Amino acid sequence: MSVDAPTQLAPGIHRLGNEYVNCYLLEEGNDLTLVDGGLPGFRPQLDAYLQSRGRSVKDIAAVILTHAHADHVGIVEHVREDTQAPVYVHAKDAEMARTGKTHRRDGSMLPYLRYPALYKLFLVAGRAGGARTPNVEVLTTFDAEQDLDVPGRPRIIPTPGHSPGHVAFHLPEHGVLIAGDALCTYNPLTGSEGPQLMPRAFAADSLQMQKSLEAIERIDATLTLFGHGEPWTESPQAAVDRARELGLT
Ligand SMILES: [Zn+2]
Ligand SMILES: [Zn+2]
């Protein structure tokens, strides 16, 4: 698995990031929405990609967060400062975005220490500035299933558990689901690939995270995107079935 360069996955849907962490751009006319902010080191890649398409960071009209873990807010504050774009996050993750203080975690890191993937993750995240994520100073919060009036017209699908205010974004007109960390196709601690739940050691509430699969499996989409791992082109239902078979990781 690798992401050598940002790519357009579908008309108006772009993927940025590295082999461990993804973020996305939605394009509607001249306006863009940044979905999650990856790691701080992603900013030059964003600027270069936009420039290659005759665009600039100023075209970003909104930033939307699946949740406020550090690996999803890396470039957000600087993009916000440069564009004055609103940054949308669920009310239950707003404090984490503002302060960088994370919630209590549901599992220990100890079981994962035997996996080389863990050490690669820290190395790559460290190189991309993962240890110094700027807090987001100004936020717009939401707290329920609703359509967001931003480029791409994402519908908020609450999927709490991985974090208290985690949400997925459904783009019905594109047949795309951005699942964030409600599911992944690359487990950043074990290195295992394919649809599965994110590890317990990163979760606020594992039982709630499993329950939130019910919100994912009802979505009609032909492309599902994740915070970690490759896109999934079977149905969300098929991804959820695989994740349930594996159980907690
Ligand atoms: Zn996360
Ligand atoms: Zn993540």
Instruction: Encode pLDDT of 22-48 as tens digits.
Output: 999 999 999 999 999 999 999 999 999
- Cα 190 to averaged position of ligand 2 atoms, centre (Å): 14
Is 42 among the domain residues?
yes
Give the ligand at the shortest distance from the Cα of 167. 1
Is 209 among the domain residues?
yes
- Cα 218 to averaged position of ligand 2 atoms, centre (Å): 23
Is 202 among the domain residues?
yes
Give the ligand at the shortest distance from the Cα of 17. 2
CATH code of the domain covering residue 106: 3.60.15.10
Q: For the segment 203-232, what is each residue's pLDDT rounded down to a tens digit?
A: 999 999 999 999 999 999 999 999 999 999
Measure Cα distances from 29 to 11, 51, 60, 61, 128 in Å: 11, 16, 12, 11, 31
Is 1 among the domain residues?
no
Is 2 among the domain residues?
no
Predicted confidence at residue 66, as pLDDT, reads: 98
Give the ligand at the shortest distance from the Cα of 188. 2
Is 221 among the domain residues?
yes
Is 132 among the domain residues?
yes
- Cα 122 to averaged position of ligand 1 atoms, centre (Å): 14
The boundaries of the domain holding residue 174 are 7-246
Is 198 among the domain residues?
yes
Q: How many domains does the chain have?
A: 1
pLDDT at 199 over 50: yes
- Cα 53 to averaged position of ligand 2 atoms, centre (Å): 27
**In three state form, how does the secondary structure of the chain look?**
CCCCCCEEEECCEEEEECCCCEEEEEEECCEEEEECCCCHHHHHHHHHHHHHCCCCHHHEEEEECCCCCHHHCCCHHHHHHHHCCCEEEEHHHHHHHHHCCCCCCCCCCHHHCCCHHHHHHHHHHHHCCCCCCCCCCCCEEECCCCECCCCCCCEEEECCCCCCCCEEEEECCCCEEEEECCCEEECCCCCCEEEECCCHHHCCCHHHHHHCHHHHHCCCCCEEEECCCCCECCCHHHHHHHHHHHCCC
Q: How confident is the model at residue 122 (pLDDT cuts 50, 70, 90)?
A: confident
- Cα 182 to averaged position of ligand 1 atoms, centre (Å): 8
- Cα 57 to averaged position of ligand 2 atoms, centre (Å): 23
- Cα 107 to averaged position of ligand 2 atoms, centre (Å): 16
- Cα 85 to averaged position of ligand 2 atoms, centre (Å): 22
Structure tokens at 241: 């079935």
